[in-house]
Amino acid sequence: MQYDFEEVSGDVIYKLMASSIVPRPIAWITTISESGAINAAPFSFFNMMGSQPPVIAVGLQANNGNLKDTARNILATETFVVNLVPFEMASLMNASSHGYEYGINELAELGIETVPAKSLKAPLIKGAPVQMECTLLSAVPTGESQYVMIGQIKHFHIADEFVLDAAAGYIDTEKMALISRMHGRGWYSKNRDLFLLERPE
């Protein structure tokens, strides 16, 4: 079976891509508006793009033709925080994806605690094993109200309990129990089913 993406609907394209490009790490992004309103929302079109400098990219699609709150805030302030999601916070992360009106603080509505960032106004989500404070390098429009936000990590926070060797940068990835997005509307995976392959010399 093959599909010509010039001839099929956007809904079919989304289902094919989202069901085959898996698992996808989740960026639980906190931002702040120019007026100071805090926003939080999860996105799975997300990954690491380089380490020198440390760069991540997040794809943000339109919501009924309108920019999502996260995109509006990033474009306005050129800053955002990526919080990674452990299994124990999966339900809260999912609840924050509800379409709240612009300016509503999802974190406050859901009783999710935050801690101040080191250099940004947007807060860190307390309990996330990793939080990355980012500044916007580039906002690449890829469609109608659709962007790829390319950010540079300025500060990287990780809970002490997951650090194996601070100087070497070794962490206990499995212990963090991070979740990833899978197919369909509500399927996720736990990142714990691992296997090891030795690199060829």
* pLDDT recorded at residue 102: 79
Whichever domain contains 170, its CATH number is 2.30.110.10
- Using only C-alpha atoms, the chain has a radius of gyration, in whole angstroms, of 17
Does residue 82 sit within a domain?
yes
For 119-124, what is the mean pLDDT?
A: 97
Q: What whole-number distance in Å separates Cα of residue 145 and Cα of residue 46?
A: 17
Average pLDDT, the chain: 94
The answer as to whether 114 is a domain residue is yes
Q: Is residue 99 part of a domain?
A: yes
Closest CA to 96 of 121, 114, 118, 78: 114
What pLDDT, on a 0 to 100 scale, did the predictor assign at position 103? 73
In a domain, 83, yes or no: yes
Q: How confident is the model at residue 172 (pLDDT cuts 50, 70, 90)?
A: very high
As for how many domains the chain has, the answer is 1
Determine whether 84 is exposed, middle or buried from the number of CB atoms within 10 Å of its CB (0-12, 13-18, 19+).
Answer: buried
Residue 115 belongs to what domain range?
10-190
- Tell whether 102 is covered by a domain: yes
